[in-house]
Amino acid sequence: MSILRIEDLNIEVTKKKVKYIYLRICHANGEVKVSAPRYSSLDSIRIFVLSKLPWIKEQQIKVKNRKREIQLDFVSNEIHYFDGKSYALNIIEKAGRTNVTLKDNIMEMYIRPGTDRAKRKLLVERLYRKHLKDSVPYYIQKWEPVMNVKVNFFNVKRMRTKWGTCNIREKRIWFSLELAKKPAHLLEYVVVHEMVHLLERNHSKRFYGFMNEFLPGWRHMKEELNKR
């Protein structure tokens, strides 16, 4: 067994008595493992992995999102993230209006006694949704004249594998609710990425040329976004 380093991935390679190269993602932690014929060269394995890189990244995001959902119980002292900062959740049961507020490093949730996990989750998501709907327009308005494009509509929704998506024909953009957890510069990176699709549909050399022009440090932002 050996370790092959590609971009930010450490890939476990095992050569064995098989006819073809096989790749799998560990569902527990997102690790990448490759089984290859004994006669395979590291260069041939590297080329194979590089051809699967977009799929690998997508699967690893799925693993992260799945783990995040399993871990969150929405109970007191649990850590939640908002705008790049961590907050300890404090549940306060009382009659009256339900709400979530932020104070110092505490996320206070006011709920009626007996409120279940699903409703607690919705309260936090309401906070996230408002934050994004308040924040995204600033970046759209900032970048429209720079790129010479127009966004007709944007919205926020739950996404398990993407940070954003763009309907190019209708100039509509949707952003992942998860972005509310991220710091402002990473939110701006996703806004710019989706707006660049209004100039170039595919992730082509032209697309990345625009990204380099508008956000020279975008590759570091992308790496930071997917590591957090």
Q: Quick: pLDDT tens for 127-146.
A: 999 999 999 999 999 999 99
How many other CB atoms sit within 10 Å of the CB of residue 210?
Answer: 20
In a domain, 45, yes or no: yes
Say which CATH number the domain at 218 has.
3.30.2010.10
- Whether residue 143 is found in the same domain as residue 59: no
In a domain, 90, yes or no: no
In a domain, 81, yes or no: no
- Whether residue 187 is found in the same domain as residue 124: yes
Q: Which helix (H) or strand (E) holds 139?
A: helix 117-147
Q: Go through 64-79 and write b for each residue having 16 or more CB atoms within 10 A of its CB, e for each that does not.
A: bbeeeeeebebeeeee
- Whether residue 66 is found in the same domain as residue 141: no
Taking residues 27-34, report their average pLDDT: 80
Range in 7-11, 99-103, 173-177, 217-221 the model is least confident about: 7-11
- Whether residue 222 is found in the same domain as residue 120: yes
* Nearest-angstrom CA–CA distance, 73 and 30: 22
Give the single-character DSSP code of 83: T
In a domain, 103, yes or no: no
Residue 189 φ then ψ, to 5°: -60, -45
In a domain, 125, yes or no: yes
Query: pLDDT of 80-137, one tens digit each?
Result: 999 999 999 999 999 989 999 998 899 999 999 999 999 999 999 999 999 999 999 9
In a domain, 129, yes or no: yes
- Whether residue 123 is found in the same domain as residue 222: yes
How many domains are contained in the chain? 2
In a domain, 93, yes or no: no
Q: Residue 192 pLDDT > 90, yes or no?
A: yes
In a domain, 178, yes or no: yes
- Whether residue 156 is found in the same domain as residue 55: no
Tell me the residue length of the chain: 228
- Whether residue 62 is found in the same domain as residue 125: no
Expressed as residue numbers, the domain containing 56 is 2-71
Instruction: Supply the mean pLDDT for the chain.
Output: 91
- Whether residue 148 is found in the same domain as residue 210: yes
> Which residue intervals of 7-116 are DSSP H helices?
42-51, 53-71
- Whether residue 60 is found in the same domain as residue 121: no
- Whether residue 216 is found in the same domain as residue 123: yes
- Whether residue 56 is found in the same domain as residue 158: no
Q: 42-51 and 53-71 helices cross at what angle (nearest 10)?
A: 60
